[in-house]
Amino acid sequence: MEGGQVPKQKVLFICVHNSARSQMAAALLNQTCGEFFEARSAGLEPGTINPLVVEALHELGIDISKKTTQRVFDVWKSGQIFQFVVTVCSEAEAEGCPIFPGITSRLHWSFDDPSKFTGTHEERLERTRRVRDEIRAKIDSFCEGHRGASKE
Mean pLDDT over 2-21 rounds to: 86
Quick check: 5 pLDDT over 90?
Answer: no
| Residue 48, phi-psi category: left (phi > 0), alpha (psi -120 to 50), beta (remainder) | beta
Enzyme catalytic residues: 15, 89, 97
pLDDT tens digits for range 100-125? 766 678 899 999 999 999 999 999 99
Would you say residue 2 has pLDDT above 60?
no
Q: What is the pLDDT of residue 151?
A: 52
Class of the CATH domain delimited by 7-143: alpha beta
Domain extent listing, the chain: 7-143
Q: What type of residue is 6? A: V
* Among 42, 43, 66, 40, residue whose Cα is nearest residue 54: 66
Confidence at residue 80, expressed as pLDDT on a 0 to 100 scale: 86
- Sign for the pseudo-dihedral over CA of 55, 29, 33, 81: negative
Average pLDDT of the residues of the chain:
89
